[in-house]
Amino acid sequence: MTVSDPVTAAESAQQAAAEPCVLLKLGEIVLKGRNRHQFQRMLEQNIRAAVKDTGIRADLTRREGVVILRVPLQPGAGQPGASQYGAEHAAAVEQVLQRVADVPGIVRVCRAWRVAKTPEATVEAAIDLTRGITGPFAVRPRRRDKRFPLTSSEIAVLVGREIQKAHGLRVDLGRPETEVFIEVDAREVFVFTSGLPGQGGLPVGMSGRAVALMSGGIDSPVAAYRMMRRGLRCTFIHFSGMPLTGPESVYKAYALTRGLDRFQGGSRLFVVPFGKTQQALASSGADRLQVVAQRRLMLKTAEALARRMRASALITGDSLGQVSSQTLQNITALDDAVGLPIMRPLIGWDKTEIMAEARRIRTLSISELPDQDCCTLLTPKRVETRARIDDLRKIETRLDADEIADQLAASAQEYRPE
């Protein structure tokens, strides 16, 4: 790539005093062809909102396939000159980095230095970034601006030698433990290491909006998270057994919503007291169909909420065969209850896989708190594993289930965890 910007090395040296910043590598987003700009806009909007949570001001700039976040110095902070970015600035940059690591659509978050376009500044930044590492390393240079005084291989040799001298580390180009990337740009040089993995996936909002059915259990928060990562913004709905049970499951749903909020921001939780409705189903003689009938009514209520929210899908944590309500035949009967598609990202996951993911996204410990799940209320001795749709529809006609679902959705209590 040739650069038309006529910046001399002397000018750029002035423009870029060595500055720690955050460099974000975008994933799939760069492959999206014509939609790419929309993806980029949405991701940047989400990054800005996430950074705003920290209360730290950060400036976002976009470069080929990466986003740079710079934390400007507050007036009066530090002295002008190379050492003006002190420990406080470094801590603010680190806080921004940790925060954006939760934003879907980013594959890696890297600690980076933005330095003047000189070999000396580049070497200094590389030495700083490799402080504390022990294994072999490799330098990976790339010159976007060919007017840099050194070629790519000369950069690699120089920086590699200086890191070896400073820290006594070994070079291994084939299987390094740490890679030091050097990108020479028109105005500056970025030096960074591989950093932390991001969430990957697509920016939240890219695929639209969905209503996620969230129990206090392990599976549903993981399911919602997986769909957020595919670009769906989630609104949560929880059914409590109240007034027949205590409010514990509501606290859990609230805590889970709050925990998941760091991946999307602006989350809303709707809580439906479902106990009376469950009782009405039982009185209407649902018997062995009680569990599946309840789940259908939950789905109908979620669908009514989805219409209000302009959401176009529902999300559940179903996993094939995990419990008796999740046989293929029962899942078919559940799909029949609503017109919207039901997304079941965990359908092919084992419980151990789901638990590992729940641990990673830090919802597991909340899900494992004790509560009385409304589904265990009024559970018949034997649960039907092959529910017939006609039988379910008959029960629903007797009760006027669609009307109940509309009322439940309209009267749900809304919470907005900060």
Write the DSSP assignment of 204-236 as a string of letters: TTTTEEEEEE--SSSHHHHHHHHHHTBTEEEEE
Q: Which is nearer to ligand ATP, 5 or 414 (CB)?
A: 414
**Binder of residue 323, out of ligand ATP, Mg ion, none (CB less than 5 to 8 A by kind):** ligand ATP
Asked if 322 touches ligand ATP (CB under 6 A), the answer is yes
Asked if 178 touches Mg ion (CB under 5 A), the answer is no
State in angstroms the smallest separation of the CB of 241 from ligand ATP.
8
Q: Which of 126, 158, 153 lies closest to 142 in space, CA to CA?
A: 153
Among 20, 104, 217, 345, interactor with Mg ion by CB under 5 A: 217
Pairing of β 208-213 and β 314-315: parallel
Asked if 215 touches Mg ion (CB under 5 A), the answer is yes
State in angstroms the smallest separation of the CB of 298 from ligand ATP.
6
Applying CB under 6 A, the site for ligand ATP has a residue count of 19
Q: Which is nearer to ligand ATP, 95 or 326 (CB)?
A: 326
Q: Which is nearer to Mg ion, 104 or 217 (CB)?
A: 217
What share of residues in the chain are helix, strand, coil (percent, to 5)? 45, 20, 35
**Binder of residue 126, out of ligand ATP, Mg ion, none (CB less than 5 to 8 A by kind):** none
Q: Which is nearer to ligand ATP, 145 or 357 (CB)?
A: 357
Q: Which is nearer to ligand ATP, 13 or 213 (CB)?
A: 213
Write the DSSP assignment of 323-360 as a string of letters: SGGGSHHHHHHHHTT-SSPEE-TTTT--HHHHHHHHHH
Torsion over CA: 37, 39, 42, 46 (sign): negative
Token output for 243 = 């007034």
Asked if 357 touches ligand ATP (CB under 6 A), the answer is no
Among 12, 193, 316, 327, interactor with ligand ATP by CB under 6 A: 316
C-alpha count within 13 angstroms, C-beta hemisphere, residue 192: 24
Asked if 220 touches ligand ATP (CB under 6 A), the answer is yes
Instruction: Give the residue at shortest CB distance from ligand ATP.
Output: 217
Asked if 277 touches Mg ion (CB under 5 A), the answer is no
**Binder of residue 325, out of ligand ATP, Mg ion, none (CB less than 5 to 8 A by kind):** ligand ATP
State in angstroms the smallest separation of the CB of 253 from Mg ion.
11
- Binding to ligand ATP, residues 358-417 (CB under 6 A): 374-375
Pairing of β 106-115 and β 178-184: unpaired
Instruction: Please work out, in degrees rounded to the nearest 5, the angle formed at the alpha carbon of residue 134 by the alpha carbons of 128 and 139.
Output: 55
Asked if 188 touches ligand ATP (CB under 6 A), the answer is no
Pairing of β 59-63 and β 66-70: antiparallel
Distance CA 377, CA 365 (A): 23
Q: Which is nearer to Mg ion, 235 or 325 (CB)?
A: 325
State in angstroms the smallest separation of the CB of 39 from ligand ATP.
28
Tell me the H-state helices in 6-82.
Answer: 9-15, 36-54
Distance CA 94, CA 87 (A): 10
**Residues within the interface to Mg ion (CB under 5 A):** 215, 217
**Residues within the interface to ligand ATP (CB under 6 A):** 213-215, 217-220, 238-239, 298, 316-318, 322-323, 325-326, 374-375
